[in-house]
Copies of this chain bind each other. A is one copy, B any other.
């Protein structure tokens, strides 16, 4: 089935909406949280475990897979789905963010961006056309345009220049799509400036994409600034298409951004924090290395139905973590992804039952 988005229900009190994205690899219920599988694996977990955790779509990083093992290798092996044994939808980012955050010696020219690999120092040129070619070779269900992630802070002039570049690259991405290509999303930049964000939306929607993302958020700005930009920009995006806030975020952010009408999120927080011993519970977070858990026979969260909470005590998880055992990262990751997936499910149910406003108030009250 080709790409299609449908809005099923809307919250009456807020901008939250319940939807469904159809892709060649199946359906995604929205609002959706997308776990990050940078190098063609959600760190420590198998695809079967992700399915059991109700993960409906994962994200893979174009930059990383282009450098290692190489998109040619993955293409030869039958595409990313087959390569990593995952038959549900995959969203691939464009690599732009990683070029600007991980690599060395970045030089922007008319053609694209030249950079040095963070792995072996080799030089590469990434162009909008190349980025589409890579994502098509990977067999992505949802592809992203090459953009320049405007850093924070940035002046109006810097933000505008960066935005213009991203718009130009977005146009070239769209033009280089093959006819049978997958869905392609545009990324709205514009820094912290409302007029630039509005201009970005206008320019990208006039090119026309299958969905729109907000980029350049969660890059160091205060949380209020992030929410202000999102609150201003999200309503400008076309209502019938999915809206994706990239790189966000904490459970509190997810609830706020859903209430502003966001349909999709991705973030390393549940997986990365798991590997650092931080576990998400309904009242906030818990650090498993804390000495108070040394002989605590309770699960991470009472009543949690995840595999980890059903079978293991905090004491065991603390022991594994202190002993740097591989199973620690895995059990922690299972709990955190479950926790994020449960939050998204609860939000979808609340929207469906026209209870999202109440859900949001309860959510914040529980953490106050």
A311 close to B (CB within 8 Å):
yes
Inter-chain contacts of A84 with B (CB < 8 A): 316
A46 close to B (CB within 8 Å):
yes
Cβ-defined partner of A323 (8 Å) among B39, B44, B315, B322: B39
Measured CB to CB, the nearest residue on chain B to A69 is: B319
- A82 smallest CB distance to B (angstroms): 9
Scoring A68, A294, A325 by chain B CB atoms within 10 A of each residue's CB, the highest score goes to: A325
- A266 smallest CB distance to B (angstroms): 19
Please list the residues of chain A having a beta carbon within 8 angstroms of any beta carbon in chain B.
39-41, 43-46, 64, 68-69, 73, 76-78, 83-85, 294-295, 297, 307, 311-313, 315-316, 318-320, 322-323, 325-327, 329-330
Query: A326 and B44: CB pair below 8 A?
Result: yes
Query: B327 and A43: CB pair below 8 A?
Result: yes
Cβ-defined partner of A73 (8 Å) among B312, B315, B320: B315
Cα distance, A84 to B311, chains bound together (Å): 8
Query: A85 and B312: CB pair below 8 A?
Result: yes
Measured CB to CB, the nearest residue on chain B to A40 is: B319
Cβ-defined partner of A85 (8 Å) among B69, B311, B330: B311
Query: A43 and B311: CB pair below 8 A?
Result: no
- A55 smallest CB distance to B (angstroms): 15
Inter-chain contacts of A46 with B (CB < 8 A): 307, 327, 330
Taking the full assembly, how many copies of this chain does it contain? 2
Query: A45 and B327: CB pair below 8 A?
Result: yes
20 interchain pairs, CB-CB under 8 A: A39-B319, A43-B325, A44-B326, A44-B327, A46-B327, A46-B330, A64-B323, A68-B319, A69-B318, A69-B319, A73-B294, A73-B315, A73-B319, A77-B295, A77-B297, A77-B313, A83-B315, A83-B316, A326-B329, A330-B330
Scoring A68, A76, A316 by chain B CB atoms within 10 A of each residue's CB, the highest score goes to: A316
Cα distance, A73 to B322, chains bound together (Å): 14
Query: B313 and A41: CB pair below 8 A?
Result: no
Cα distance, A46 to B333, chains bound together (Å): 14
Inter-chain contacts of A311 with B (CB < 8 A): 85
Query: B313 and A83: CB pair below 8 A?
Result: yes
- A61 smallest CB distance to B (angstroms): 11
Scoring A69, A83, A311, A315 by chain B CB atoms within 10 A of each residue's CB, the highest score goes to: A69
Query: B323 and A68: CB pair below 8 A?
Result: yes
Cβ-defined partner of A326 (8 Å) among B297, B320, B326: B326
Cα distance, A46 to B40, chains bound together (Å): 22
Cα distance, A318 to B316, chains bound together (Å): 31
Cα distance, A43 to B326, chains bound together (Å): 6
Inter-chain contacts of A330 with B (CB < 8 A): 44, 46, 326, 330
Cα distance, A85 to B311, chains bound together (Å): 6
Inter-chain contacts of A77 with B (CB < 8 A): 295, 297, 313, 315-316
Inter-chain contacts of A325 with B (CB < 8 A): 39, 41, 43
Inter-chain contacts of A323 with B (CB < 8 A): 39, 64, 68
Inter-chain contacts of A43 with B (CB < 8 A): 325-327
Measured CB to CB, the nearest residue on chain B to A46 is: B327
